[in-house]
């Protein structure tokens, strides 16, 4: 198992701030975010991918907006 920080690479800071960690345990992948001291929220990577794909599909179905 490995735990790797995911950082915001679009920042002007010398050390990019940590957004969350990715945990890879064999074939299983999770995102883990620290919400307070000793408290974490962990979600499966598949859940993230599913929700992003759903949002992209909704966005692709939107009609073009016309100017008023």
* Residue 65 confidence (pLDDT) above 80: no
Give residue 39's domain range. Answer: 2-61
Q: Report the domain count for the chain.
A: 1
Does 66 fall in a domain?
no
* Residue 10 confidence (pLDDT) above 70: yes
Question: What's the pLDDT score for residue 68?
Answer: 58
- The larger pLDDT score, comparing residue 1 to residue 61, is at 1
Does 41 fall in a domain?
yes
Question: How far is residue 39's CA from residue 17's CA, in Å, rounded to a whole number?
Answer: 19
Question: How far is residue 11's CA from residue 49's CA, in Å, rounded to a whole number?
Answer: 24
Does 40 fall in a domain?
yes
Task: Tell which residue, 27, 25, 62, 22, has the closest CA to residue 42.
Answer: 22
Tell me the pTM.
0.77
Question: How far is residue 18's CA from residue 23's CA, in Å, rounded to a whole number?
Answer: 14
Does 68 fall in a domain?
no
The rounded mean pLDDT for the chain is 91
Does 67 fall in a domain?
no
Segment 30-44, tens digit of pLDDT: 999 999 999 999 999
């Amino acid at each position: 198992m490995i735990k790797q920080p995911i950082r915001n690479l679009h920042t002007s800071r010398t050390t990019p701030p940590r957004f969350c960690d990715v945990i890879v345990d064999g074939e299983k992948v999770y995102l883990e975010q620290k919400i307070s001291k000793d408290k974490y929220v962990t979600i499966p990577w598949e859940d993230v991918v599913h929700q992003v794909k759903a949002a992209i599909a909704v966005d692709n179905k939107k009609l073009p907006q016309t100017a008023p």
